[in-house]
Structure 1
Amino acid sequence: MRNNLVLTDETARHPFRATLPPHVRASGERRDINSVWEITTQDVKEFLMAYCACFMAASIFLA
């Protein structure tokens, strides 16, 4: 497949990113990875409930 009509940008540093339009490639505001992943107590409670439910279901299935 040839994309001769697609304008490329050499500063994109990747063939796929080079084919994207400038407004998609523009990051605007970069977010810090640490600010994205905030774990709350509600997240921990939901994880433990799901883990316990799956553990019980697997135990009952294998018993």
Structure 2
Amino acid sequence: MEGPQRSSSSDEKELVQGMRDKKEHVIRKTLFVPVVIGIGVTVTATVELELLNFSFNCE
């Protein structure tokens, strides 16, 4: 009786661990995307501002 229970509990532990790893991976991905977008937006805004200043200086 103890044999199958022990194996099922170890399977459960692996399942929980797997879910935890998956959750951490998803969280990392979800944090990663806004950071990349934020950097992209910042760079784009900076470049556009530089271009605007440059075009104003040329006139």
- Same fold, judged at TM 0.5 (above): no
Task: Work out which structure has the larger RCO, using CA pairs closer than 8 Å and 6 or more positions apart in sequence.
Answer: 1
Larger Rg: 2
